[in-house]
């Protein structure tokens, strides 16, 4: 027998039993816990149902009593106690002629009515006296306030008039001073302008006298650009250098013209010589051609004469 294997099996069996026991205990603990929870929930539900019934009873007691029913007036045991008497006063609208509750000449509330009227008259009289006294006091207070207001207003008006007069005097004084200063400045300005105008006129006269226009400086006619080299409105004529340059240019142009004419003359002479040579060559060629034609005709005539002789001989 293998004792070690049996011990191992026994040990494993014990471990398995311990695990199963622990699992059963855990399940039992969970079941007890769930039972307690169910008991608490049932108790809570019972309390809630009891509270609901209690609230329902309270609501029915407070808001749904028998007196709130539509037919309660038919079954009310206190109906006669709550009912109004047949006649309350003289002006009761239920006292109709057919009810025989009120007859002509009756005045059941005479004493009370007279007492009420006297009390009302006394109250009205006291109220009128009080209102009259209050009105007199208010009128006196209003008059006092109005007098004080008028006095204060007159004082302010006089003060404003005095300030306005002082301000007007100050404005007049300041205006006069300002006008004097303006007049002095204007005179000084006019003098400066007059002196400046005289100086400008003298400068202009000096500039004109020394300027290019009156001195007839020929350089003033030179234009600012090459497109208009000469300004016509400022041109004063040519100087000696320009005249010499023009004369030299004219001489050169004349010489150039003579040279061109000489070249044309030579070219024309050459053309004439060539035309004469061509005409002479043409004339010589025509004469040579005429001589050849004449020789050919003579030869032809000789042949024709020979042929004629031969014909005659036959």
Rounded to whole angstroms, the Cα distance separating 104 from 95 reads 12
DSSP symbol at 230: B
Mean pLDDT value across the chain = 83
pLDDT value at position 53?
92
Q: How many CA atoms lie within 13 A of 114 on its CB side?
A: 4
Q: Is the pLDDT of residue 163 over 80?
A: yes
pLDDT value at position 108?
67
pLDDT tens digits, one per residue of 28-43 = 888 888 888 899 999 9
Rounded to whole angstroms, the Cα distance separating 197 from 93 reads 116
234 versus 194: the higher-pLDDT residue is: 194
218 versus 283: the higher-pLDDT residue is: 283
List phi, psi (to 5°) of 288: -60, -40
Secondary-structure breakdown of the chain: helix, strand, coil percentages, each rounded to the nearest 5: 80, 0, 20
Q: By percentage, how much of the chain surpasses pLDDT 70?
A: 84
pLDDT value at position 12?
85
pLDDT value at position 236?
64
The whole-number average pLDDT for the span 232-252 is 78
The whole-number average pLDDT for the span 13-17 is 86
Q: Is the pLDDT of residue 219 over 80?
A: no
Rounded to whole angstroms, the Cα distance separating 7 from 11 reads 6
The whole-number average pLDDT for the span 170-195 is 89
Structure tokens at 65: 């009593």
């Amino acid at each position: 027998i293998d004792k070690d294997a049996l011990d191992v099996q026994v040990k494993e069996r014990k471990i398995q039993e311990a695990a199963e026991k622990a699992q059963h205990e855990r399940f039992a603990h969970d079941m007890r816990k769930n039972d307690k929870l169910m008991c608490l929930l049932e108790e809570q539900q019972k309390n809630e149902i009891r509270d609901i019934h209690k609230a329902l009873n309270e609501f029915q007691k407070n808001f749904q009593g028998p007196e709130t029913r539509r037919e309660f007036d038919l079954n009310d045991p206190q109906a006669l106690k709550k009912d109004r008497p047949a006649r309350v006063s003289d002006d009761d609208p239920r006292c109709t002629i057919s009810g025989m509750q009120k007859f002509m000449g009756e005045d059941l509330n005479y004493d009370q009515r007279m007492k009420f009227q006297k009390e009302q008259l006394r109250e009205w009289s006291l109220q009128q006296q009080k209102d009259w006294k209050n009105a007199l006091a208010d009128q006196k207070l209003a008059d006092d306030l109005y007098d004080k207001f008028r006095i204060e207003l007159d004082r302010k008006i006089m003060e404003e008039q005095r300030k306005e007069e002082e301000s007007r005097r100050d404005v007049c004084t300041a205006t006069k001073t300002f006008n004097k200063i303006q007049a002095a400045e204007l005179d000084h300005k006019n003098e400066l302008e007059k002196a400046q105008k005289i100086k400008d006129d003298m400068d202009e006269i000096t500039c004109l006298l020394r300027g290019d226009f009156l001195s007839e400086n020929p350089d003033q006619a030179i234009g600012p650009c090459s497109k208009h080299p000469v300004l016509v409105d400022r041109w004063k004529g040519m100087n000696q250098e320009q005249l010499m340059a023009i004369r030299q240019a004219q001489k050169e142009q004349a010489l150039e013209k003579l040279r061109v004419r000489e070249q044309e003359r030579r070219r024309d002479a050459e053309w004439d010589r060539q035309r004469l040579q061509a005409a002479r060559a043409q004339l010589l060629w025509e004469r040579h051609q005429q001589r050849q034609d004449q020789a050919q005709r003579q030869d032809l005539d000789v042949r024709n004469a020979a042929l004629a002789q031969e014909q005659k001989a036959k």
